[in-house]
Amino acid sequence: MAATDNHRADPNRTLELLWGTLQPPTRGPKPALSLPQIVEAAIEVADAEGVAAVSMRRVADELGFTTMSLYRYVPSKTDLLELMVENAGFIADMPPELTGWRDQLHWWANDTAEIYRRRRWALDVPLNAPPMGPHQIKRMEQALAALDGTGLSGIEMLAILVVLSGYVRGHAQLATTLADVESRTGTPQEAWDQAYGRMLTEFVDPDQHPTLARIVAEGAFHDPEVDLDDEWLGQDFAFGLDLVLDGIARYIERRTGAASPG
């Protein structure tokens, strides 16, 4: 039967691939490829054309091998996508000068967002399970270790990690969607911005939308301090991150009965 990208995924096999414990093929000719070569080639395709362009056949063509030869190393496209996300970016060590939980989580969130900024395609890979690879587990450990001295339980720490991860990923998804509007629609971002401005001035009715109309009249949508050329919405990200961290600090204070040292 011809190889396809629909080979069934096996979660335990994926786990072993991520951690490098899956035994390489022993039958057949001497291996001429390696798993890192395959993953690197797939990432290069995704960097250039997006994750939709990644297929076992396309990666095999890039490497100059047959599609069947790739399946000896990566049994399914699902496995390949998991390996790509796992290797999407270098996971730096937490800077030792950061000692409080808030500074550490602030660094963690920005470092995670930077990976999404450089590897936007990672946001288009479906989440099949919580993080399972060594790089992602290192990232998970960093956030949990930052909270370890707060007096919270393990369940609470994990819940905070979910909230913070969700904020970072959600913001990255929004920023990426807006940044890619021209390639997606064929219309420049400026034209969409102008249409949005027209909607605010022509269609926001003070009788039906009194609060929004007041904010529009105040010029909130034309804040001179907002960098309109910042496609990653950096100021919005920083503001939202501070809100999330403020909420965590308040929760720690309420939960432990003491002001957070972070």
Domain locations in the chain as residue ranges? 11-86, 101-256
Position 8 scores a pLDDT of 78
pLDDT over 70 (residue 26): no
Average pLDDT estimate for 197-215: 96
The average confidence (pLDDT) of the chain is 90
pLDDT over 60 (residue 144): yes
Q: Which long-range contacts (CB under 8 A, 24 or more apart) does 35-43 make?
A: 35/73, 35/74, 35/83, 37/63, 38/63, 38/70, 38/73, 38/74, 38/80, 39/80, 39/83, 39/84, 39/87, 40/87, 42/80, 42/83, 42/84, 43/84, 43/87, 43/88, 43/119
pTM of structure: 0.88
Position 189 scores a pLDDT of 87
Instruction: State the pLDDT confidence band at 3, using cuts at 50, 70 and 90.
Output: very low
Average pLDDT estimate for 68-94: 94
- Architecture of the domain defined by 11-86: Orthogonal Bundle (1.10)
Instruction: State the pLDDT confidence band at 251, using cuts at 50, 70 and 90.
Output: very high
Q: What is the CATH number of domain 101-256?
A: 1.10.357.10
Question: Six-digit token pair at 101?
Answer: 């939980």
